[in-house]
Amino acid sequence: MAATMTSIRALAPARRAGRVPSPRPPRASSSCSSEAPNRQTNPPSSSSSDGIRGCDAVAGRRVVSLAALATALGSPRLALANVVGDDAGEPTGLDPAGARPRLRKCPATFNCVSTSSTGGAPEQFATAWTAPVKNLDEAIAQITAATLRACPDARKLDSFETDDGSRYVRFAVLGKLGEDNVEFLIKNEGIGDRGWDGDDDQRRDYLVTYRSFATTVKYVYPFMTPVSDLGEQRKRMERIRAEVEWPRVGCEIEGFCDNDL
């Protein structure tokens, strides 16, 4: 019995020495995985050097960092690394389908506001103004000066008179995502009598319609989701209106349009 146990003990080391552990399958490498503790690497970052693309630590994918994108939009001249543009060639000028001279509506995918965008997306509709001036020449002079004060980089591109005597003027302005266009059509008419007490002083003031839009649609690749300019079109028009100090139609009652920016 003792001899048998001795034989078993003698064989045991040989068996242990002969066992070769099966190799572990290599771990899939990922640009988002952590390195070994003894290797000096830069800590993982939520955004790459371009300030736009981030790293998904779970799936190892390049994704868009919304915070970085918002930061990028604060600089209008910053090139967005993973944002692609689509110059859709949105036409300017008057709407040919209108029975009377009017500006065009906003395209669905554009960053845009227009006084003609009725019945569409609420965020694309803008309230018209009235111009309390003596004539249309004075109105054009005032709106041009106000646009240049509110947007020092603005360039006047086009100006003409319509068949009914209304006046059109267009400017190019640097936007958040490229070049924007600002159009005005100051009509040779007032707002008329709507039966409001506030109309008495504005009935004969010239009606000011406008449209502000981005000339290029930007998309986040590969999702092709239109990038918002964070309401810059509406904010710009309100800056211009503050410079020219023309009232908005329907805001005669004090406080009625305080939230309508």
Provide the residue ranges of all domains of the chain, joining segments of one domain with +: 53-84, 90-244
Q: How many CB atoms lie within 10 A of CB 148?
A: 16
Going by pLDDT thresholds of 50, 70 and 90, the confidence category of residue 240 is: very high
Burial category of 235 from C-beta neighbours within 10 Å (exposed 0-12, middle 13-18, buried 19 and up): middle
- Report the distance separating Cα 80 and Cα 84, nearest Å: 8
Instruction: Summarize pLDDT for 112-161 with one digit per residue, the tens.
Output: 999 999 877 889 999 999 999 999 999 999 999 999 999 999 999 999 99
- 214 Cβ partners below 8 Å, 6+ apart? 110, 111, 112, 175, 177, 178, 179, 180, 229, 233
Instruction: Summarize pLDDT for 43-102 with one digit per residue, the tens.
Output: 444 333 333 333 333 333 333 444 445 554 554 443 444 545 455 567 899 999 878 899
What CATH code is assigned to 90-244?
3.40.1000
- Residue 181: how many CA atoms within 13 Å on its side-chain side? 21
Q: Give the best-scoring range by mean pLDDT among 80-84, 204-208, 225-229, 255-259.
A: 204-208
Nearest 5 degrees, angle CA 111-CA 243-CA 171? Answer: 45
